[in-house]
Copies of this chain bind each other. A is one copy, B any other.
Amino acid sequence: MKHVVLLGGSGYVGKTFQEILSKRNISFRNFSRTELNYYNPAKLKEALKAEAPDCLINAAGYTGKPNVDACEDDKANCLLGNAVLPGIIREVCESLKLPWGHVSSGCIYTGSRSDGSGFLEDDTPNFDFRHNNCSFYSGTKALGEEVLKGAENCYIWRLRIPFDERNNPRNYLTKLLTYEWLLDAENSVSQRFEFIDACLACFEKEIPSGVYNVTNPGAISAREITEIMKTHGMVKKELKFFESEEAFMSEVVRAPRSNCIMSSEKLSSLDIRLTEVHEAVDRACKNWTE
């Protein structure tokens, strides 16, 4: 990787790309939306021609603040950022034959495969508009993947509930420490820096393009995480768990939430490996910084 163009570099994931690329001395240019209206294919193409990167990373998207409930009130922008933008980037990158990667999400699934194992990359999403059971956010992320079906030279990286050792409102561990009530759901999750490393490794190792679940191997429940937190003295109050997902859904949130288990085997079979999930959470808790 000689020169990277980054879109969405000011977001939680985008900032991490900037941090890692800087740390590794990889040349990159982050385009903010005010600097470049990358929703305009002609302008994006012009900028890419001038910049001549050897790959593009799309970390831009609409996640909703403080959480996905906000997407329910801004549906047009949520569609624009998560479903239309990937199509615009695809069109431009394909015309320039530029390899690129898109940060997608595992939230297009709920539960696990019928045998209890994690969803594979080719499994049809089951938490999307087409199942009419999803948040607007998940619906748009699934449409984004539909828009990218068959895209050339394109990695689709599915992130799932980022966490790491730095206290931050977007960090899953911070959320578990600050929410008044917790839901004891089991999930696959993504250590934020390992996620970025894995994304960059796709380009470096030139693995085949396509969809990849980029999660730490295995699954972990919220209660398991809080137990690990306790062993590191992070928990300073009594934690209260909802009795059921129904109680959580009816009392706290507007939009349905996805909880799901994903398989990371496709990526590990290509020798791109993240740390086993319990070990990764334990390490984050051990190195916790306020």
Write the residues of chain A forming the contact surface with B, with a CB cutoff of 8 angstroms: 37, 39-40, 75-77, 79-80, 83-88, 90-91, 128-132, 139, 143, 146-147
Q: Is the CB of A86 within 8 A of B76?
A: yes
Candidates B39, B40, B76, B87; contact of A147 at CB < 8 Å: B76
A80 to B76, CA, bound (A): 9
Q: Is the CB of A80 within 8 A of B75?
A: no
Copies of this chain, how many?
A: 2
In the complex, which residues of chain B have a beta carbon less than 8 angstroms from the beta carbon of A139? Answer: 129
In the complex, which residues of chain B have a beta carbon less than 8 angstroms from the beta carbon of A77? Answer: 84, 87
A131 to B88, CA, bound (A): 26
A139 to B88, CA, bound (A): 19
In the complex, which residues of chain B have a beta carbon less than 8 angstroms from the beta carbon of A130? Answer: 129-130, 132
Candidates B79, B90, B91, B128; contact of A83 at CB < 8 Å: B79
A40 to B80, CA, bound (A): 12
Would you give the shortest CB distance from A156 to chain B, in whole angstroms? 15
A32 to B160, CA, bound (A): 42
Known: A129-B130, A129-B139, A131-B132. A146 touches B75 (CB 8 A): yes
Candidates B76, B85, B143; contact of A91 at CB < 8 Å: B76
Would you give the shortest CB distance from A254 to chain B, in whole angstroms? 14
Candidates B75, B87, B129; contact of A87 at CB < 8 Å: B75
In the complex, which residues of chain B have a beta carbon less than 8 angstroms from the beta carbon of A88? Answer: 76
Would you give the shortest CB distance from A130 to chain B, in whole angstroms? 4
Q: Is the CB of B79 within 8 A of A143?
A: yes
Would you give the shortest CB distance from A127 to chain B, in whole angstroms? 13
In the complex, which residues of chain B have a beta carbon less than 8 angstroms from the beta carbon of A143? Answer: 75, 79, 129
Q: Which residue of chain B has its CB nearest to the CB of A88?
A: B76
| Chain B CB within 10 A, most for which of A37, A76, A88, A132 | A76
Would you give the shortest CB distance from A181 to chain B, in whole angstroms? 30
Would you give the shortest CB distance from A34 to chain B, in whole angstroms? 12
In the complex, which residues of chain B have a beta carbon less than 8 angstroms from the beta carbon of A91? Answer: 76
Q: Which residue of chain B has its CB nearest to the CB of A132?
A: B130
Q: Is the CB of A75 within 8 A of B132?
A: no
List of 8 A-B pairs having minimum Cβ-Cβ separation, nearest first = A76-B87, A129-B129, A130-B132, A75-B147, A80-B84, A76-B84, A76-B147, A79-B84
- 9 A-B pairs in the complex with CB atoms less than 8 angstroms apart: A75-B87, A75-B147, A76-B86, A76-B87, A76-B147, A79-B84, A79-B147, A128-B129, A129-B130
A147 to B83, CA, bound (A): 14
Would you give the shortest CB distance from A141 to chain B, in whole angstroms? 13
Would you give the shortest CB distance from A152 to chain B, in whole angstroms? 14
Q: Which residue of chain B has its CB nearest to the CB of A133?
A: B130
A40 to B43, CA, bound (A): 14
A86 to B90, CA, bound (A): 23
